[in-house]
Structure 1
Amino acid sequence: MLFSSIIKGIAIGLMLSVSVGPVIFAIIKQSINNGHRGGIAFIAGVSMSDIILVSLCNFFTQLFSSTGAFEKIIGFGGSFFLIGLGLYNLFLKKSITKQDEEVIKVKLSKRGIVSIFFSGFLMNTLNPAVILFWIATSASIMVSAKTFPHEIQYRILVFLTCLIFNLCVDISKVFLAGKIRNRLTPHNIHIINRISGVIFIIFGCVLLYGIYTGHVLSH
């Protein structure tokens, strides 16, 4: 169970970390304009948002599946959403390029750090794609966790591993902001979107197979 949950957690974290969206550009902008403190404050807000969203999504998917009637429907829906998101990233998603090339260094106050924290929190929380991603992932993991004797512990380990992995990657983005910024050309973003699309599709198919057959591939 431990190995399987860690692998799945890293896989989910990898999907999040390679996705190119507004959050990565905000992390880079905050890190360059406001230094490492600004970047860390921003990703702290994003991470807090993820923790709350993961908790809520797991609670509601568990609530709706408590009778067992909708368990597989929820799982299939989540898996198909992840596959659809992968196809979107692979074929339809347009490259997002940075709009603001000007770097303005400012000295951060405590109020400024709090403001940056909440900007990260709100940007992540109000992003419909993030909410749908966590709903789909929570639903799929909930169903696959049924094959383990300690279901709750398994789910906690999966999402804890995912959140820690994603936080570590975001912290690395803060310290490598300058180098990452210069490499986020439309061509490179297009390649990253395709890679993330393939990862989403593979992960969705693995979860779909596990739900359909009633066992998990990593066993």
Structure 2
Amino acid sequence: MWAELGIEHLGLFVLSGWLLNLTPGPDVLYIVSHALRSGVRAGIVAAFGITAGCFVHIVAAGLGVSALLATSAMAFTVLKWVGAAYLVFMGLRMLTSKTQPAIDLEAASADSTGAGGLKAIFFRGFLTNALNPKVALFFLAFVPQFITPGASHPTLAFLVLGVLFNVNAIPINIGYAVLAGWAAQRTALVQQGMHWLDRVAGALFVGFGIKLARTAAPEL
């Protein structure tokens, strides 16, 4: 079936995807910070928000929008600055937020089901990924390597591989959420360091935003 779609080296593709998803970045940081602060459920919701945002890039790449980002300096620059501004905004919110020294699981559960709770976590996770043009360019550079040259349906093959990559990332992202939630509940040092967690996470998000803003547009 895979050969008929023009897909090759599927095992290597899956393995490479797992290794890439294990590498810490803005997405992992977003998941872990919410799981540590508000429990496993919040971390899992953050993970699904990021997964949903990734589907935007998969569909866009399949339809050729990501190719536009790769060839149009203006399109890349606009999305780059929007994504960078959002990451810096999130970082500044973490740096200036009032945090509690320990996790109140009942309060976290109540907050996650109210206004601005799980839906907000999901939506912010969605934007964290969807507004990052580097994700679009990653798919454009990585996925075609596993599509047979001259495939009869390259767009379909691209979409299938993109969806597979994204679905395979879900267990890893959930694993990060579960591990962080477990540590927050059982490690006193983590409980006492929640104030500094937000500060460190905020500084890293600002750093990711600045790094994204400094990313050069693709050469035409």
CA contact (8 A) 2:87 2:206 kept: yes
Q: Show structure 1 runs of 5+ residues with no match.
A: 32-38, 107-111, 214-219
Q: Which amino acid aligns with 2:194?
A: L
Counterpart of 1:109 in structure 2 is none
Q: Which amino acid aligns with 2:129?
A: F
How many residues align structurally? 189
Q: Which amino acid aligns with 2:55?
A: S
Query: Given the two structures, how large is their TM-score scaled by the length of structure 2?
Result: 0.56
Counterpart of 1:182 in structure 2 is 192
1:5 aligns with 2:17: yes
Distance 1:19 1:50, change over 3 A: closer
Counterpart of 1:216 in structure 2 is none
Distance 1:155 1:124, change over 3 A: same
Matches within 5 A, 1:1-219: 1-2=12-13, 3-11=15-23, 14-19=25-30, 24-25=33-34, 27-28=35-36, 30-31=38-39, 39-40=40-41, 42-63=42-63, 65=65, 68-69=67-68, 71-73=70-72, 76-77=76-77, 80-81=80-81, 84=84, 88=88, 95-100=95-100, 115=113, 119-120=117-118, 122-127=119-124, 130-136=126-132, 137-145=134-142, 147-150=144-147, 151-152=158-159, 154-178=161-185, 179=187, 180-186=190-196, 189-195=198-204, 212=219
Q: Show structure 2 runs of 5+ residues with no match.
A: 1-11, 148-157
CA contact (8 A) 2:54 2:129 kept: no
Distance 1:93 1:44, change over 3 A: closer
1:90-114 deviation per Cα after TM superposition (whole angstroms, max 9, x unaligned): x9676144445687665xxxxx8x9
Distance 1:125 1:8 in 2: 22
Deviation at 1:48, TM superposition (A): 3.5
Deviation at 1:192, TM superposition (A): 4.1
Distance 1:164 1:204 in 2: 30
Distance 2:172 2:78 in 1: 22
Q: Which amino acid aligns with 1:131?
A: L
Deviation at 1:175, TM superposition (A): 1.0
Identity %: 7
Distance 1:4 1:197, change over 3 A: farther
Distance 1:200 1:5, change over 3 A: farther
Query: Given the two structures, how large is their TM-score scaled by the length of structure 1?
Result: 0.56
1:150-199 deviation per Cα after TM superposition (whole angstroms, max 9, x unaligned): 2445534543454332221111121112443311334x544444455556
SS at match of 1:148: helix
Distance 1:169 1:100 in 2: 22
